[in-house]
Amino acid sequence: MTEHASPEGDTGKKERLVALRPMAPIVPPVNVSGRALMVVIAIMSFLCAITLGAVTMVQEKAEAWQGDISREITIQIKPVDDLDMEAALTEVQSIVLSYPGALSAEIVDRASTARLLEPWLGEGFDMDELPVPRLVIVTIDETAPPDFASIRQTLAEAVPAATLDDHRAWAGRLISMARITVFIGVGILTLMFATTMLTVIFATRGAMDGNRHIVEVLHFVGAETGFIASEFQKRFLLIGLKGAAFGGGIAAAGYVVLGVWQSNTMATALNDQVTALFGRFTLSSAGYFGIIGIVVLISAMTAITTRLTVIRTIREIDRQRADPSLAEIG
Amino acid sequence: MIHFENVGLRYGMGPEVLRDLTFDIPKRSFQFLTGPSGAGKTTLMRLLFMSLKPTRGLIRMFDRDISIIPGEDLPLLRRRIGIVFQDFRLLDHMTTYENVALPLRVRGKDESSYRSDVIELLKWVGLGERINVLPPVLSGGEKQRVAIARALIDQPEILLADEPTGNVDPPMAQRLLNLFIELNRLGTAVVIATHDLTLMDRVNARRMILSEGRLDIYD
């Protein structure tokens, strides 16, 4: 930007070009306290986003387990004297499939049953020499499940050796466990979030303390409270947004990288161990939206705290005006 | 324009630092406020700038009782006052030009409307070569002149200057005094708090002498 300054003095010497830099912002760009605030916000956003991602993953995993269990029921036929096991299996299959809501019924064949028992009985055992029960796995329509009581009654009449296990007890325990896990996760997330908010509020107020003289000067040169608050709010919103986006971004990128790594290193010992310990690091879109929400919320909190701090500072200046004992003696 | 009546002020439970002040500052008037150190000059300037309220008495500024002015009206009233603080109160991240332009900027004026005025005023106070310099590298005298230019830029109805020539050499002090006189001729009332007897002797103006919290006025 340049300006043709008026001639020096009345004699009108040679007119000179005065170069001016672009106007500095009313509130200075990031200083030491602003940078510290940005780092604090980035760290807290990262921790918050990691916690949110973990809770989302646990919740989705729990829901998936619950869904898997409740999608299947098992019918077990115990070997009793004079029972034609293969005929009984086929009869059970046809009985079950006659009920609406039973989508499929798969007989676990002899080879598969042997494989299931292999860890306990070893290879090459003769299944006919042992009273090994056989299974029919039935997939049901979750939204319109069949009448289990009626199936039980029909099976008791047609194949007395068959028992139906609708996994209700197992599913109940799993649901309880999942609920407790999610409850604990939400509790941790709440604490984490509260800590983040308090940290952001105090860090913002700390950073604002270093700008008190600017608020005073602006107030004394006739700037209205709303103007001063808006100027600081804009600057600190940017600080909050940068810090939170960096922290949240790193967390989101971490989930992406871990997910890709797990996909690309399937069936390796390390991957198996990590997956057994932590599960799959796959964050759903809800998780990523949650992280974006955290970034927005933390930035907004920074801006709101700044606005309130400016208003409070101006009120303090006016309180000193009303009560001279609070002011410096001049 | 400004009326003080039986004004007293004490800090907390301490003794009154200003006692029974009764005076007027008329429009277009020019006065020096003087007195020994600790007499309460800065406190009186703060009362005039409405950054303090008296503990007793009445102050009317621009026909308004300052004890009942709501906080949100203060900035608008302060826009009619130019003040030069003893400690300058410049913003270190802004250049000389930007500091002087600040009062106009916070009033929402467009830069193109005041750019030449600011540059001209800076040249007038001898800072034409320091337009793009930041306050930390200015001398005390230069900072003082920036503070003065900032107070004058919006042609206030009254100028309050606390020791405005305290850090400048005699020729510059004379030049600044001439600036105040010129401003006064254009209609601005001027109150200069100073210890500088030589400066006061150069102008035939009203003298307000504060001593032990009391004010004597010599017209």
Q: With contacts defined as CB-CB under 8 Å, which chain B residues touch A317?
A: 51
| Mean pLDDT, rounded, for A97-126 | 84
Looking at the fold, whether A99 and A241 belong to one and the same domain comes out as no
Give the per-residue pLDDT at B140.
Answer: 84
Length of chain B (residues) = 219
In a domain, B128, yes or no: yes
Q: If you measure CA to CA, which chain B residue comes closest to A4?
A: B116
User: Do A193 and A55 sit in the same domain of this protein?
Assistant: yes
Residue that is last in its domain, among A102, A135, A160? A160
Average pLDDT over residues A127-139: 86
Question: For residue B125, is it within any domain?
Answer: yes
CA gap A276, A287 in Å, rounded: 21
pLDDT digits 0-9 by tens, B140-158: 889 989 999 999 998 899 9
Of B49, B52, B93, the CB nearest to A324: B52
Task: Kindly compute the dihedral angle of the four CA atoms of residues A25, A30, A31, A36, in this order, to the nearest 10 degrees.
Answer: 150
Whether residues A201 and A300 fall in one domain: yes
- Do B74 and A322 count as a contact with CB atoms less than 8 A apart? no
* Domain extent for B132: 91-155
Longest dimension (CA), chain A: 129
State whether residue B182 is helix, strand or coil: helix
Query: Tell me, what amino acid is at A84?
Result: D
Helical packing angle, A168-209 and A225-264, nearest 10°: 140
CB contacts < 8 A, A to B, total 110
Tell me if A117 is assigned to some domain. Answer: yes
In this structure, is the dihedral angle defined by the CA atoms of residues A96, A97, A99 and A102, taken in order, positive or negative? Answer: positive
Residue B144 lies in a domain: yes
> Which residue in the set B46, B55, B89 is minimally distant from A217, CB to CB?
B89
- Which residues of chain A neighbour B175 with C-beta distances below 8 Å? none
Is residue B30 one of the residues assigned to a domain? no
Q: Give the model's pLDDT for residue A118.
A: 79
First to last CA, chain A: 41
Residue A274 and residue A200 share a domain: yes
Last residue of a domain, one of A111, A132, A160: A160
CA B205 vs CA A167, B2, B31, B172: distances in Å: 102, 17, 5, 20
Choose one of A138, A160, A182: the last residue of a domain. Answer: A160
d(CA B148, CA B159): 9
Give a yes or no: residue B194 inside a domain.
no
Residues A187 and A295 in one domain: yes
Segment A154-171, tens digit of pLDDT: 988 988 889 888 777 777
Given CA atoms B89, B92, B96, B102 in this order, what sign does their dihedral have? negative
Residues A140 and A190 both lie in one domain: no
Q: What is the DSSP string of A114-160?
A: HHHHHHHH-TT--GGGTT--EEEEEEE-SSS---HHHHHHHHHHH-T
* Claim to verify: residue A119 and residue A254 sit in the same structural domain: no
Q: Determine, yes or no, domain membership for A23.
A: no
Q: Does A217 touch chain B (CB under 8 A)?
A: yes
Question: A72 vs A68, A113, A232, A319, B201, CA distance in Å?
Answer: 7, 18, 59, 71, 105
DSSP string, A270-324: HHHHHHHHH------HHHHHHHHHHHHHHHHHHHHHHHHHHHHHHHHHHHHHH-G
Residue B198: the pLDDT is 84
Domain-embedded: residue A186? yes
Domain range for A136: 79-160
User: Cα–Cα distance between B130 and B139 in angstroms, integer?
Assistant: 11
Does A95 have pLDDT greater than 70? yes
In total, how many domains does chain A have?
2
In a domain, B180, yes or no: no
A28 belongs to a structural domain: no
Same domain, A180 and A270: yes
Residue B58 lies in a domain: no
Is the residue at A18 inside a domain?
A: no
Q: What is the secondary structure of B22-82 as a DSSP string? A: EEEE-TT-EEEEE-STTSSHHHHHHHHTTSS--SEEEEEETTEEGGG--GGGHHHHHTTEE
Distance CA(B15)–CA(B7), nearest Å, equals 14
Please report whether residue A296 resides in a domain.
yes
The answer to whether position A142 is within a domain reads yes
Residues A225 and A115 grouped into a single domain? no
User: Which candidate from B51, B92, B111 shows the least CB-CB separation from A23?
Assistant: B111
Q: Which residues of A touch B116 (CB under 8 A)?
A: 3-6
Tell whether A62 and A198 lie within a shared domain.
yes
Task: Using an 8 Å CB-CB cutoff, list chain B residues near A324.
Answer: 9-12, 52-53, 55
Quick one: what percent of chain B has pLDDT higher than 70? 100
d(CA A5, CA B96): 15
Q: Report residue B217 CA to chain centroid gap.
A: 19
Residue contact A329–B17, C-beta within 8 A: yes
pLDDT (tens digit per residue) in B155-195: 899 999 988 887 778 888 888 888 889 889 988 999 999 98
Query: In the prediction, which pLDDT does A16 show?
Result: 54
For residue A29, give Cα distances in angstroms to A210, B92, B184.
Answer: 13, 12, 38
Q: Is residue B116 part of a domain?
A: yes
Across the interface, whether the CB atoms of A220 and B79 are under 8 A apart is answered no
Assess whether A153 and A211 both reside in one domain.
no
A60 & A196 share domain: yes
Which residue in chain B is spatially nearest to A31 when comparing CA positions?
Answer: B93
The total number of structural domains in chain B stands at 1
Best residue in B89, B106, B143, B153 for a mutation probing chain A (most A CBs within 10 Å): B106
| A25 part of a folded domain | no
Provide the residue type at A105 as one letter.
Answer: A
For chain A, give the mean pLDDT. 83
